Structure 1
Amino acid sequence: MIVKHLKNTKEKTKPKKLNELQATAICGNDISSSCLYVSALTIMYAGQFAWISLLIVALVLFLFRKIYGEVVGAIPLNGGAYNVLLNTSTKRLASLAATLTVLSYMATAVISSIEGMHYLHSIFESVDVTIATIIVLIAFTGLAILGIGESAFVAVIIFIIHLFTLSVLVFASIWFLANNGLETFNINWELPVKSGSILTALFLGFSAAMLGISGFESSANFVEEQEQGVFRKTLRNMWAIVSFFNPVLALLLVCIIPLAEVGAHKESLLSHLGQTTGGTWLAIMISVDAVLVLCGAVLTSFVGVSGLLSRMTLDRILPNYFLKQNKNGSNYRIIFSFLILCISVLFVTKGDIEALAGVYTFSFLTVMGLFGIGNLLLKFKRKKLPRPERARGISVVVAVLFIIAAFIGNVNLNTNSFFTFIDYLIPAFLFIAIMLNRTMLIQLLIDSLEYFYKPMRKFVVFSNRYLTKLNLQINSQEFVFFTKGDDVAILNKVMQYVQGNETTKKLRIVNIKKDGESNKALIKDLKVLDRAYPEIDIEFIELDGIFGPEIIDELSNKWNIPKNFMFIGSPGDRFSYRVSELGGVRLIM
């Protein structure tokens, strides 16, 4: 009964896994939001052939469905490209993929929030884009910290609204064409190709359109939070959405909007299409949807980066500090750190979309290419590992070649953005390199300290011995006070003088006693003073004779105490000698 109770308790505390709709919504908001900008971008390079370029992208994505399905099916752990390379190659190559993925998520979060706030600004002009962007980032940080269940609930609502809005736009555009004909399409189709040839136009359009599948890799970064069998369905769903809406919307734009107007409306081309086909209500509906779905893409970034960095922390690439979870199972330190990174990037780039787009484009394409390479390595190095499906080797090679072509095309289209990407990649990878080699660096630091410490240690030991000996020497010096049998008040002043002005541990108090004198009272007083000044050892000495230069010389030689370390009180008028005759004895009273 006890065992059963414990088992039930464990089952109750086990976090709930994401179903197909929830998982698709989280990563689908990112990939489906691409239609808001990728159609305009592709038309600007491929013109009337943009929809064909987008169909080629859909073909590439179809190839990657099986590539991702095979890899994650064989190794169903968070991390995406990092995960497969970690299990098939070196930790350094895997860390490079992870760094690129984080950069991609960072750029996605900032770009999506900025773009979303630009759409909001088009509705409410009083909205400050920068401040609103920060608010969005903070809001979705809070949502991500609440847990993936709450994040999924919001993501599903946004996802459904977005698909509904896109469907309304498609039906409105088809209705518009049914009533107005294809005159605009015929005009656009006859326009000369800007790039000189159809193949060049298709290549450049394809390169630009590859941004339309960013987010496809996100599902692999939180696969552990998904129910069994859901991952492959998310790939299928994302592919279907992108393969339908992106080419269809691009074709509808070519049919309805003159290509000359695309440049003027490139930031909100779908809103312009809605305004043309349905009126103001549809334009506003699309703008509101754009705000929501772009914010949903921000959420995708937070969920994806949390899964990736928690896996990297478990693999000891990042400090264990990031593994701390709240009661909802969220790695809140990772999420909060990602927020700080995003806000810092926002201020460093001053919200420059082009600079961020460079990081976004090349990071994403490199991650996709590395995932394909990881699939090939999995085939060669982990042949016996069971997997639910297999991608043919030739299809993987073709998919990777498509990615390389898109990368080269984007370098030609955005050379400055490529260098911006390098500027961000180098410091990010340097940090990861330090973490990977931290034991070596710590050992190097230890060796360096040892190297410099050894000669210093000798110097310190020698100096310590010398100074200790010198200090003992100074403190071992004895002093003498000649007393005539003074009372305790005078002797106390003597002690105060010695304590305040001399460095010594011993004072000899000497009395030259005459016949018949008794020092009982003096001895009692000195015992009191000895207790009052425990740091100074008081030694009382009685001598017979007459105080004068002879006895001072005798005691100085006998005790090896210089005469200037011998004290007397001020002599009276009846004193037989002048002070100068005493050989340097000091007057202290």
Structure 2
Amino acid sequence: MTSQLSSILPSYPPDEMGESDTTEPWIAIEPIVRSTDDGTAQSTNPPTFHQSQFDVILRRQRTRPPTGGGLKDTLATASRFLNLSSDFEFAGWGSFSNLKLTGEDHVVGEERLQRIRRSRLLGQYTGAAVPGNAVLGSVFYALPAVVAVSGVYSPISLFMATLTLFLWRPIMEELASALPISGAPYSYILNVSRKWLALIGAALLLLDFASTSVVSAATASSYLAGEVVLPFPTFVGAALVLIIFAFVSLTGLKESARIASVVLAFHIATMIALAIASTVYWARLGNVQLRHNWADGQPSTHAAIARQLFNGFCLGMLGLTGFECTPSYIGRIKSGQFPLVLRNLHLPAIVLNTLMIMLVLATVPLERVLGGANVLSALAEMSAGPWLRKWLVVDATIVLCGGVLTGILSACELFEQLAHDRIIPQVFLYSLPISSAQYISITVFTAISAALYASSGGSLAIVSKMFSLVWLTVMGLFPLALLLLRFNRGRMPRERNTPLSLVFLTLALVSVVFAGNVAIDPSTAGYFAAYLFGVLAVFAATQNQVQLLRAVYWTYDQYPVLHRWTISKMWGTGLVGVMTKLKRQPVCILVKTDEINHLLHMLLYVRENEETSCVKIVHFCDEENGVPSELEANAKILDEAFPEITIDLIIVQGMFSPANVASLAHRLQIPPSLMFMSCPGPQFAHPIAEFGARIISL
């Protein structure tokens, strides 16, 4: 290119260029000469952009080692450290290479793709069984909380609360059709927005799982204490349940849809038996008890009635807890079955919650209901005697302990995903040699749950109210994720289109109900905020390890006396080594075109969201289209524009497909979760879930 340009451009003697010994290539652009009306020549220098005569500009490129290593220019930039050269701030030069995947790579890629496809085994009933125990088991702790604030108006409040899921179902269905990947809502937000917002979703999910385990354990202990005399307080029993099932998890027990189906079938049979016995007892008793309860529970003013209805509606959301876990299993549900799974969870929740609270008020004296007794066990004893009460206690213990185990295992899956995304340390992936249980994740989650329960003073009421706030906030992430998907990933194909007014209405409802729960007991907002900020602080620290270590080293560097001690110098050298190692963890950007603005935006995302100084730009090249003409040149420009990042360009021979991406992940030893791609369009030929890559641009 230099020789071609020099042949058409005027040359200048060295003394006219101002530097006679320069070895850099220069281009001198001849001034544009125009003729005026009187025939004289008039020069306009410099030309405007519109007047530019050349569309190719040769720019100076620094000499790069042939192998791609070496440091970028560090002499022009001073180091912020007193005892550390500026070499530390800069990465090496990137490289260009052609890559052909081997047969072993293709075998590994096909195996991963087949595992993804084989994992979609759950139909509409087995898929509903996994979260169904939590949704239908919440009746044990939702009813007492609602009756305590809503009294005789509890059936109306609970019925209205369960109807609100008609707002969420189309939102969840649209999100699942666009992003059929597990880990929602954290995974949704991670693919449609920035990582810091996804971290908020992850923190809320962790609190939701912890609250599920604590409330389930405390309720199970309460039901046992109502049936037998425990040799210890109820809160001790709840702690023992948490510890016991932590040890059960360490044995390697994994959640099974079949086991969940059996437990759910037993719970449904128990509820049907309780409903039949209570209905028969109500028919024999008549409406005497219902009229007494109605008269005794009437507030004095209409405003008090409205307040009871609203408070019961706000806390009635507890009867729907577990519904938010359903999208977390979307990767295991057969295609097209997810809307049916939501229906199979929602409709029984409406019937169960409304029917049970109506039967309680029709047969059990109101003073006993409000006296803190186990509501459903009191209903069972009044309807059929001690045998049904014992049956119900057994059912409650099994279902609620299953909720504890579900919370632990769900948290382990979340920790695993966060570790793969490099949000938390890799030690969370460590497992026991025999059981393969993630002992670090189980231990940390049990400690979080125990701290949550202890900070509430062992109060089930406080934890339940805080659980309601956590659940509401998690449910609020779904309409927020859909709004972000519409705005940031509008090209993404999906099967349905939820009205935008419905999305805004759902967000408004979340805000109103959240405020109502805070008004019922403002102290719960303090617990909620404290734990949310605590978890976020931990995530922020682990997500920004290099920045924190850099701040620590800078503080150490400001005291010259520390550099005179051998031990201190060794500590500083080790700190630099840790930072360098963390920065060299690579990520991969999958690109289709060579537009430099598109490449720039993807690199900016990586710089803002990932702690890495090693980025590999990968383009899959087929024989029909070839390599984009400006891709190599633009990659070199960006490699120079980002001195803190080494940018390697890799051209892979083959089609862009899920199997080839999985093969590339094996070849480069980069997990698919750290491979980034742009948003697919409506004509995209492959399911997005099979790639496992993160979508980071439109």
TM-score by shorter chain over 0.5: yes
1:157 to 1:143, Cα distance in 2 relative to 1, 3 A: farther
The answer for the alignment partner of 1:218 in structure 2 is 325
Q: 1:278 to 1:307 in 2, by over 3 A?
A: same
Displacement of 1:174: 1.5
Tell me the equivalent position of 1:566.
none
Aligned to 2:379: 273
Give the match for residue 658 of structure 2. Answer: none
Quote the offset at 1:357 in angstroms.
2.8
Distance in 1 between residues matched to 2:330 and 2:439, nearest whole Å = 19
- Whether 1:317 and 2:423 are equivalent positions in the alignment is yes
**SS state of the match for residue 217, structure 1?**
helix
User: In structure 2, which of residues 514, 534, 540 is the aligned counterpart of residue 407 of structure 1?
Assistant: 514
Question: Which one-letter code corresponds to 1:319 in the other structure?
Answer: P
Corresponding residue for 2:218? 114
- Which of 257, 269, 291 is 1:186 aligned to? 291
Letter matched to residue 404 of structure 1: S
2:527 to 420, 423, 428: 420
The change in CA–CA distance for 1:428 and 1:358 in structure 2 (over 3 A counts) is farther
Structure 2 counterpart of 1:415, which letter?
A: P
**Greater displacement, 400-409 / 318-327:** 318-327
Residue type of the alignment partner of 2:281? F
1:380 and 2:483 matched:
no
**Aligned in 2, Cα 1:390/1:172: closer, same or farther, shift over 3 Å?**
farther
Name the residue aligned to 1:75. Answer: 179
1:201 corresponding residue in structure 2 = 308
After TM superposition, the structure 1 = structure 2 runs for residues 526-537 of structure 1, keeping only pairs within 5 Å, are none
Residues 145-160 of structure 1 correspond to what in structure 2 (within 5 A)?
150-160=255-265
User: Who is 1:251 aligned against?
Assistant: 358
- Give the Cα–Cα distance (whole angstroms) in 1 for the partners of residues 245 and 127 of structure 2: 17
Q: 1:205 and 1:459, CA in 2 relative to 1: closer, same or farther beyond 3 A?
A: closer
Q: Matched residues in 2 for 1:92 and 1:174: separation?
A: 52
For residues 13 and 142 of structure 1, the distance between their equivalents in structure 2, rounded to whole angstroms, comes to 29
Q: Report whether the alignment pairs 1:161 with 2:266.
A: yes
Q: Residue 98 of structure 1: CA displacement?
A: 1.2
Equivalenced residues, count? 457
Q: How does 1:87-166 map to 2 (within 5 A)?
A: 87-128=191-232, 129-130=234-235, 132-144=237-249, 150-166=255-271
- TM-score normalised according to structure 1 size: 0.70
Note the C-alpha offset of 1:398: 1.8
Give me the identity figure in percent. Answer: 28
State whether structure 2 residue 408 is matched by structure 1 residue 302.
Answer: yes
What is residue 525 of structure 1 aligned with on the other side?
none
In 2, the alpha carbon distance for the partners of 1:209 and 1:317 equals 34
Q: Partner of 1:222: helix, strand, or coil?
A: helix
- Looking at structure 1, the residues matched to 499 and 209 of structure 2 have their Cα atoms a distance apart, in angstroms, of 29
Q: Is the 8 A contact 2:162 2:317 kept in 1?
A: no
- Report the equivalent of 1:19: 122
Larger helix percent: 1
Give the equivalent residue in structure 2 for 1:398.
505
Measure the CA separation in 2 of the matches of 1:184 and 1:332: 52
The amino acid of 1:116's aligned partner reads: A
Query: d(CA) in 2 for partners of 1:438 and 1:66?
Result: 39
Quote the Cα distance in structure 2 between the aligned partners of 1:348 and 1:6.
48
1:245 maps to a residue whose letter is: L
Q: CA deviation at 1:315?
A: 1.7
How far apart, in 2, do the equivalents of 1:44 and 1:131 lie? Answer: 24
One-letter code of the match for 2:534?
A: P
Tell me the residue number matched to 1:338: 445
Which of 225-234 and 34-43 deviates more? 225-234
**Residue pair 1:357, 1:417 contacting (<8 A) in 2 also:** no
Structure 2: how far apart are the matches of 1:421 and 1:330?
Answer: 30
Deviation at 1:310, TM superposition (A): 2.0
AA of the residue aligned to 2:207: L
The equivalent residue for 2:85 is none
Tell me the distance in 2 between the aligned counterparts of 1:459 and 1:291: 61
List per-residue Cα deviations over 1:183-235 (Å, max 9, x = no partner).
Answer: 32234445523674343222111011111111111122233344444543332
Q: Secondary structure at the match of 2:497?
A: coil
Query: Quick check: 1:263 aligned with 2:370?
Result: yes
Shift of residue 330 of structure 1? 5.7
Q: Does 1:360 align with 2:360?
A: no
8 Å contact kept, 2:157–2:312: yes
Structure 2: tracts of 5 or more residues without a match: 1-102, 567-698
1:252, 1:336 → 2: CA distance?
41
**Amino acid aligned to 2:404:** V
Separation in structure 2 between the aligned mates of residue 143 and residue 385 of structure 1, nearest angstrom:
42
Give the Cα–Cα distance (whole angstroms) in 2 for the partners of residues 77 and 311 of structure 1: 12
- Contact 2:226/2:374 (CA < 8 Å) preserved in 1? no
Moved more, 74-83 or 325-334: 325-334
Change (3 A) 1:457 1:433: closer
- Equivalent residue in structure 2 for 1:54, among 158, 182, 200: 158
> Partners of 1:89 and 1:53 in 2: how far apart?
36
Residues in 2 aligned to 1:285 and 1:271: alpha-carbon distance in whole angstroms:
9
CA distance in 2, matches of 1:388, 1:11: 23
How far has the Cα of 1:143 moved from its partner? 4.6
1:48/1:254 contact within 8 Å kept? yes
Pick one of 159, 173, 177 that aligns with 2:278: 173
1:495-514 to 2 correspondences below 5 Å: none
Q: Deviations over 1:151-202 (max 9, x none)?
A: 4443323211111111111111221222222232234445523674343222
In the aligned structure 1, how far is the partner of 2:440 from the partner of 2:176? 26
CA distance, structure 2, for counterparts of residue 195 and residue 102 of structure 1: 41
Secondary structure of the residue aligned to 2:559 is: helix
C-alpha offsets along residues 448-477 of structure 1, whole Å, 9 cap, x if unaligned?
A: 333334x655899xxxxxxxxxxxxxxxxx
Tell me which residue corresponds to 2:342. 235
Work out the CA distance in 1 between the residues paired with 2:246 and 2:365: 41
1:369 corresponding residue in structure 2: 476
User: In structure 2, do the counterparts of structure 1 residues 437 and 177 end up closer, same or farther at CA, with 3 Å as the change threshold?
Assistant: same
Q: Is 2:189 the counterpart of 1:85?
A: yes
State the shift of 1:9 in Å: 8.3
Contact 2:255 2:409 in 1 (8 A): no
Larger Rg computed on CA atoms: 1
1:328-387 CA-to-partner distances (Å, cap 9, x unmatched) read 776453233212322344445452324423432221111111222112221222222122
Distance 2:337 2:302 in 1: 45
Question: Unpaired segments of 5 or more residues in structure 1?
Answer: 461-589
Cα deviation for residue 6 of structure 1 reads: 8.8
1:65 aligns with 2:169: yes
Checking the alignment, whether the CA contact within 8 Å between 1:221 and 1:305 is kept in structure 2 is: no
Structure 1 residues 194 and 25, CA gap change in structure 2 (3 angstroms) = farther
Counterpart AA for 1:393: L
Post-superposition shift, 1:294? Answer: 0.9
Partner Cα distance (2:455, 2:309) in 1: 35
CA displacement at 1:31 relative to structure 2: 1.6
1:449 aligns with 2:556: yes
Whole-angstrom distance in 1 between the partners of 2:110 and 2:180: 26
Quick one: structure 1 residues 321 and 158, their matched pair in 2 at CA, closer, same or farther if it must change by over 3 Å? same
Q: CA shift at 1:95, angstroms?
A: 0.8
